[in-house]
């Protein structure tokens, strides 16, 4: 359940503050202040951990590696074994399900599909609840316990709610989740119910849920666990540490990640930047975020900036135009007004990366190709491979460059999508009365075949497959 920390975390907690990211404000606040946006200017908040000195940092790699052999739960967690980089005190009761430590797979078929010499996929769907949300939720629910919150809440397209429900159950507090009715995978909804959360299905989309969540967060007994919460980002940034460890501290040329509420790209960017500041890596990988075309507000904003800004200009726009009615079958990223867009865009610009959008057809085919590598993922994850294919074709990624794609969710998060793709019945807005449904061809269909129950019939079909 919860695990006590050690003295190694004391200095990190003493150094850390919450800070507004707006340069004109840069207000700082204590770690026990329950804030999600800057109370002075309304800007986004992040944790400034005031990292260890560079002379201390040289010891961290070996310490983190040695913890992999420890039987203690806090060392077996892919979040808490990096606790020197986290803003928690020595006596904190960590809420953990042994999240993190997820595999980095070679994906040769997907590499060929993209036009790359090689490709690796970091599968965050191998976390305890089947998505990348677990690393951040471990830290967020831990902070909720530190603050004495009785209820933790989130708006969700499915993965956040499943993760929050599990970690709240582990911590022994109430989880209340807001879901857009009829717009999430039944598999994800089933998880939240099984973990004992209060499930509130609202008539509206995810962005309506986020508006309600921010209103609920004004109640001192309620703690918001969406990625607007800076402690969520602290947990998720450890994926960057783990990834570099798996790469032998050799920085890849590109890291590609799906873009929904933009917390994941924010966290990876923060993690890489902290490693660079510590001298543990020599450069940043180019961070690219891929959105679905029908739900791509940040990609649209980036395209407008990219066409007119001078080289080296990393200044951030003040506003972003939301997508009022986002449309995509990749429901995990069906978000029109991502709350972490500014922090994510900052990370992309610092690294020299990009934000692009891909079509429903590209997502579906890329997902099928990832499956052919024996890996599998939920639809939103496949935006990474779809995006790589586009970027190789446009020359933004070279064939011989080293590329890592982040898969955010397990293949069984949305089994209906898989079945419909391979049976040839997948379409965007299926059942729409106005005729707006868009069929999606199963380019790599693998539909079941009806076969007679005889040896000869089985052998015949096997011969056709050879």
In a domain, 92, yes or no: no
Give the pLDDT confidence score for residue 168 in this predicted structure: 97
Which range, 6-20, 47-61, 389-403, has the best average confidence (pLDDT)? Answer: 389-403
Phi-psi region of 116 (alpha: psi -120 to 50; beta: other; left: phi over 0): beta
Q: Which CATH number fits the domain that encloses residue 268?
A: 3.40.50.1100
Which range, 88-97, 132-141, 310-319, has the best average confidence (pLDDT)? Answer: 132-141
pLDDT at 309 over 80: no
State pLDDT tens for residues 70-129: 999 899 999 999 999 999 987 899 999 999 999 999 999 999 999 999 999 999 999 999
Give the pLDDT confidence score for residue 5 in this predicted structure: 45
Q: Are strands 427-428 and 438-439 parallel, antiparallel or unpaired?
A: antiparallel
pLDDT at 434 over 60: no
In a domain, 219, yes or no: no
Give the pLDDT confidence score for residue 183 in this predicted structure: 86
Q: 308: which residues sit within 8 A by CB, 6+ positions away?
A: none
Tokens (6 digits) for 212: 């309600």
Give the pLDDT confidence score for residue 7 in this predicted structure: 44
CA dist 453 to 80, 131, 423, 450, 461, Å?
53, 39, 21, 9, 12
In a domain, 381, yes or no: yes
State pLDDT tens for residues 360-375: 999 999 999 999 999 9
What is the number of residues in the chain?
466
In a domain, 370, yes or no: yes
Helix residue ranges, H only, 354-454: 360-372, 383-394, 415-423
State pLDDT tens for residues 171-224: 999 999 999 898 889 999 999 999 999 999 999 888 888 889 888 888 888 999
pLDDT at 6 over 50: no
Confidence at 12, pLDDT banded by 50, 70, 90: low
Tokens (6 digits) for 420: 């419909």
State pLDDT tens for residues 188-201: 999 999 999 999 99
State pLDDT tens for residues 137-151: 999 999 999 999 999
The angle subtended at Cα 399 by Cα 397 and Cα 405, nearest 5°, is 60
pLDDT at 13 over 60: no
Confidence at 9, pLDDT banded by 50, 70, 90: very low
In a domain, 251, yes or no: yes
What is the total count of domains within the chain? 1
CA dist 323 to 208, 259, 293, 337, 363, Å?
12, 14, 10, 7, 19
Task: Round to whole Å and give the CA distance between 237 and 99.
Answer: 13
Q: What is the mean pLDDT of the chain?
A: 92
In a domain, 123, yes or no: yes
Note whether 405 and 390 are within 8 A (CB): no
Give the pLDDT confidence score for residue 216 in this predicted structure: 87
Confidence at 273, pLDDT banded by 50, 70, 90: very high
In a domain, 19, yes or no: no
Name beta bridge partners: 357: 291
Give the pLDDT confidence score for residue 214 in this predicted structure: 85
Tokens (6 digits) for 427: 């379409």
**Between these two residues, 381 and 156, which has the higher pLDDT value?**
381
| Domain with 267 in it | 104-129+231-416
In a domain, 272, yes or no: yes
For the entire predicted model, the pTM comes to 0.93
Is 282 buried (19+), middle (13-18) or exposed (0-12) by CB count in 10 A?
exposed
Task: Round to whole Å and give the CA distance between 146 and 32.
Answer: 8
């Amino acid at each position: 359940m919860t695990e006590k920390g050690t003295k190694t975390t004391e200095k990190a907690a003493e150094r850390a503050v919450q800070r507004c990211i707006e340069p004109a404000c840069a207000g700082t606040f204590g770690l026990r202040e329950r804030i999600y946006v800057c109370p002075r200017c309304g800007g986004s908040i992040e944790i400034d951990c005031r990292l260890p000195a560079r002379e201390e940092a040289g010891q961290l790699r070996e310490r983190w590696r040695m913890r992999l052999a420890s039987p203690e739960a806090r060392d077996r967690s892919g979040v808490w074994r990096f606790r020197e980089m986290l803003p928690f005190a020595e006596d904190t009761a960590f809420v953990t399900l042994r999240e993190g430590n997820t595999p980095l797979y070679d994906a040769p078929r997907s590499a060929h599909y993209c036009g790359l010499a090689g490709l690796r996929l970091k599968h965050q769907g191998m976390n305890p609840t089947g998505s990348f949300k677990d690393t951040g939720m471990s830290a967020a629910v831990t902070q909720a316990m530190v603050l004495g919150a009785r209820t933790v809440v989130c708006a969700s397209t499915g993965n956040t709610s499943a993760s929050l429900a599990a970690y709240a159950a582990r911590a022994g507090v109430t989880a209340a989740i807001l879901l857009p009715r009829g717009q999430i995978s039944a598999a994800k909804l089933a998880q939240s119910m099984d973990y004992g959360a209060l499930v509130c299905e609202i008539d509206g989309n995810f962005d309506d849920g986020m508006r309600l969540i921010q209103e609920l967060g004004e109640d001192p007994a309620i703690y918001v666990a969406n990625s607007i919460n800076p402690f969520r980002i602290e947990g998720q940034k450890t994926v960057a540490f783990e990834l570099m460890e798996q790469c032998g501290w050799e920085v890849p040329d590109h890291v590609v990640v799906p873009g929904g509420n933009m917390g994941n790209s924010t966290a990876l960017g923060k993690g890489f930047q902290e490693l660079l500041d510590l001298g543990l890596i020599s450069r940043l990988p180019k961070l690219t975020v891929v959105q679905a075309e029908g739900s791509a507000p940040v990609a649209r904003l980036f395209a407008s900036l990219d066409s007119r800004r001078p080289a080296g200009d990393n200044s951030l726009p003040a506003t972003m135009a939301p997508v009022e009615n986002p449309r995509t079958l990749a429901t995990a990223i069906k978000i029109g007004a991502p709350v972490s867009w500014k922090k994510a865009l900052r990370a992309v610009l610092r690294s020299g990366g990009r934000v692009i959008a891909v079509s429903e057809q590209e997502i579906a085919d890329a997902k099928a190709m990832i499956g052919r590598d024996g890996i599998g993922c939920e639809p939103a994850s496949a935006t990474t491979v779809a995006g790589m294919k586009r970027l190789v074709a446009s020359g933004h990624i070279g064939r011989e460059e080293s590329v890592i794609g982040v898969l955010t969710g397990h293949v069984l998060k949305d089994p209906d999508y898989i079945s419909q793709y391979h049976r040839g019945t997948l379409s965007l807005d299926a059942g729409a009365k106005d005729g707006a449904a868009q069929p999606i061809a199963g380019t790599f269909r693998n539909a079941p075949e009806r076969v007679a129950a005889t040896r000869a019939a089985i052998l015949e079909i096997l011969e056709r497959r050879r």
